[in-house]
Amino acid sequence: MTTPVLEDVEDPQDAEAWAALVSTLKQLERENAELKETVRFLSNKLIDYGHEEDLTLIRVSGSGSGIRIEDLPDEILLLIFREVVPPQWMLNRIKELVPDSLESFDLEAKTSLALVCKQWNLIATEMLYKNIFLRRVGQVPALARTLQNTSALRLIVRHLNLSCFVPRAYQKLFEAQTNQILDMCPGLTHFGLTPLYRIPTTEYIHAFLSLKTTITRLEFTEQINFTFILASVTQLCQGLRSLSLSFTENYQDSYPYLDFLKLEELRVKQLTQDSDESMLTPTLWNWSMPVLQRLWFTSCRSDDFSESSFTLLFLKKYAASVIFLSLSIACCIPLQKDNLCPKLQHLCVEVSSRQETWFPVDGHTSLAYVDVWCQPNRASKAIPPDLKSRFPALKLCRLFDWSFRYFEELSVQFPPGLPAMRSELDMKQRGLQQQRPSFRALLQDAEQLPRPAWMTAIFDVISPASVNGQSNLDDIEGVVLPVDENPEEWTDGRFIYHRESDGDSDSTVDEGSVGCLQDGREFYQDEDWQADAEEALDIFSSMQE
């Protein structure tokens, strides 16, 4: 019996070929049906097995059975939710809650998840309280009250960073509430005091904070008195794994001996003052850091790299074991000449518009990977022809956009060694020791290549039109940020929206107070007034209305 298609075929050979084709198609249809039935049978067995073992399984496509999304275990939901918010390394360097920032996006995503259902609320609450960043002074008593009223939340907190500006009338309250929060968080592992501003005649912390031995990461900015920093570091030096601090060179004649047996990461920002210029030999810390692996060093000095400079002495004493070094200084560094960092494998440097030299390192014999934070006006400069001779072991040179400079952990989160991609120049394949192509030409040649993994990760959570997607605000003068109508805040353990305000002063200033400020004197109606917790919470609550 022939099919209608075969009846129209006149040539017997063609008809025979068509018959074979039809037979093959029918055979494939039978096999396909058998495979579908097998998949359906095995899927049902798998789900039955899961129910017998009290396991939760996701719906299998085509099986017609399964469970609902709300029945997923909390551990799986937590992994899924973590992919929705920015990773922690992208949030660590953000100190202020500015409009359309990553911090705002992070809070909005977590609070949105918390409003879905009871199960999601529990998971989102854990995400909210595990890593806490307080940007407003009113948030401190609000958090203290929430932890006091909800004991279960105390066990969640692992990371606490206080970067809020503290007016003089809030100093005693801030200090007392900070101590109270520290006492209520037994599992705290990271503590940071990172304000960007302070009143010159005041100190954020006067008394000694009782820091728990569970803390392995400490972070301080230059607004914190170094005497307090030194006391905190002395208390926890035996167990610290990461330390970030700022200090003024020659702050004191001598430092106590400290043994950092476990310290792996150190971030140092060297400050200067007029009196330092008369000091011939800076005073180094009397510290031991035998397992130090990663070092970030920033110097605000603009003088030449001399034998008596603090940077040189510091690298000689403490950088012998580091394999990663990030430098932000305005002078050339003789790593090769002085045999500094003999184990160094990965170097990250800045090329700012103020530097005369393109690459602020003379060379290194064993350095394999270099990351360059490059400003756009430096990208058109030609690569030095002797770069390969200065770094004979160099394998990869990556160019990082200066706009993302505040992601200082990017080079650690995305270590080099992957195949060369856009903006990642393979030193061996491109033969840079024989050519002198410009960066612009190299980037144009690489336009068809996929984005590097680090760039893809950033663009996944940053809108090109956002504040963090445009430029580094710290390097722009005269930037006026718009007032956000709905920034997020803490109140009684929950984030709500309110109008932007510092909460410590009125929005209007009379002529008399302006005159006091212009004379360089601080203006207070009652200079002895100190806010207590109830007053601060009342002020904070009134801002929400």
Residue 219's CB is within 10 A of a number of other CB atoms, namely: 19
Q: Give CA–CA dist 417/422, Å, rounded.
A: 14
Q: Is residue 459 part of a domain?
A: yes
Q: Is residue 184 part of a domain?
A: no
Q: What is the pLDDT of residue 191?
A: 92
Structure tokens at 59: 């719906």
Q: Give CA–CA dist 57/53, Å, rounded.
A: 11
Q: Give CA–CA dist 458/404, Å, rounded.
A: 9
Pick the closest to residue 120 from 167, 177, 171, 80 (CA basis).
80
Packing angle, helices 118-130 and 74-82, rounded to 10: 60
Mark 379-388 as b/e (b = at least 16 C-beta within 10 Å): beeebeeebb
Pick the closest to residue 415 from 458, 469, 453, 465 (CA basis).
453
Q: Is residue 205 part of a domain?
A: no
Q: Give CA–CA dist 305/315, Å, rounded.
A: 12
Pick the closest to residue 94 from 107, 80, 81, 75 (CA basis).
107
Q: Give CA–CA dist 151/8, Å, rounded.
A: 83
Structure tokens at 510: 């009379």
The answer to whether 81 and 124 are in contact (CB under 8 A) is: yes
DSSP state of 66: -
Q: Is residue 493 part of a domain?
A: no
Of 456, 471, 486, which closes a domain?
471
The answer to whether 293 and 322 are in contact (CB under 8 A) is: yes
Domain span at residue 431 reads 343-471
Beta bridge partners of residue 327, listed in sequence order: 297, 349
Q: What is the pLDDT of residue 530?
A: 66
Question: Taking CA 163 as the corner, what is the angle to CA 161 and CA 167, rounded to the nearest 5 degrees?
Answer: 135
Phi, psi (rounded to 5 degrees) for 540: -65, -40
Q: Give CA–CA dist 291/312, Å, rounded.
A: 20
Q: Is residue 445 part of a domain?
A: yes
Q: Is residue 441 part of a domain?
A: yes
Q: Give CA–CA dist 290/373, Å, rounded.
A: 29
Spatial CB neighbours of 485, under 8 Å, sequence gap ≥ 6: 499, 500
pLDDT tens, the chain, 545 aa long: 445 444 554 566 667 777 778 888 888 888 887 777 777 766 666 555 544 444 444 444 444 455 677 677 888 888 888 878 888 888 877 666 666 677 777 888 888 888 888 888 888 888 888 988 888 888 888 888 888 888 888 898 999 988 888 887 778 888 888 888 998 989 999 998 888 877 766 676 666 677 888 999 999 888 888 888 888 888 888 999 999 988 776 555 667 889 999 999 999 888 765 444 545 566 778 889 999 999 998 877 655 555 557 777 888 888 888 999 988 876 666 666 667 788 888 988 877 655 545 566 777 888 888 888 876 555 445 456 677 778 888 888 887 877 777 787 888 888 886 554 444 554 444 444 444 455 555 555 555 566 677 777 777 777 654 444 444 434 433 333 344 444 444 444 444 434 333 434 333 434 444 443 344 444 445 556 566 566 656 555 555 55
The answer to whether 295 and 289 are in contact (CB under 8 A) is: no
For 347, the enclosing helix (H) or strand (E) is: strand 346-351
Of 402, 437, 471, which closes a domain?
471
Q: Is residue 322 part of a domain?
A: no
Q: Is residue 442 part of a domain?
A: yes
Structure tokens at 189: 């592992």
Phi, psi (rounded to 5 degrees) for 503: 75, 10
Helix (H, G, I), strand (E, B) or coil at 71: helix
Residue 247's CB is within 10 A of a number of other CB atoms, namely: 20
Q: Give CA–CA dist 447/453, Å, rounded.
A: 15
Render 413-463 in DSSP notation, one character per residue: HS-S-SPP-TTEEEHHHHTTTT---BHHHHHHHTTTSPPPHHHHHHHHH--
Q: What is the pLDDT of residue 449?
A: 60
The answer to whether 142 and 124 are in contact (CB under 8 A) is: no
Of 67, 93, 119, which closes a domain?
67
DSSP state of 349: E
Does the predicted TM-score (pTM) go above 0.85?
no
Question: Taking CA 240 as the corner, what is the angle to CA 234 and CA 244, rounded to the nearest 5 degrees?
Answer: 85
Look at the chain and report how many structural domains it folds into.
Answer: 2
Helix (H, G, I), strand (E, B) or coil at 401: strand
